[in-house]
Amino acid sequence: MVPSFRKFVGMVALVIFVVVYALVAMVIGDMTLQQASVPVKLVYFAIAGLIWVIPAGAIIWWMQKPDRAKG
């Protein structure tokens, strides 16, 4: 895959992933933690706010991979 096209696809995938992940994490947190205490909510949202880094890092790693030599 051409590097510039890979970066474009990765950027689009990253933006879509982050938006969808944030919405899903908010909905899950809101639906399941309505009666929870503030410290429990803080822990959930802190963990949910950091977990997205792992798949985003994988997307960025894929974007930066060099192309294989043709031949």
What pLDDT score does 19 carry?
97
Q: What are phi and psi of 37, to 5 degrees?
A: -75, 165
* DSSP three-state, residue 40: helix
Taking only the tens place, the pLDDT of each residue in 33-64 is 999 999 999 999 999 999 999 999 999 999 98
Task: Decide if 11 contacts 63 (C-beta within 8 A).
Answer: yes
What is the pTM (predicted TM-score) of this model?
0.80
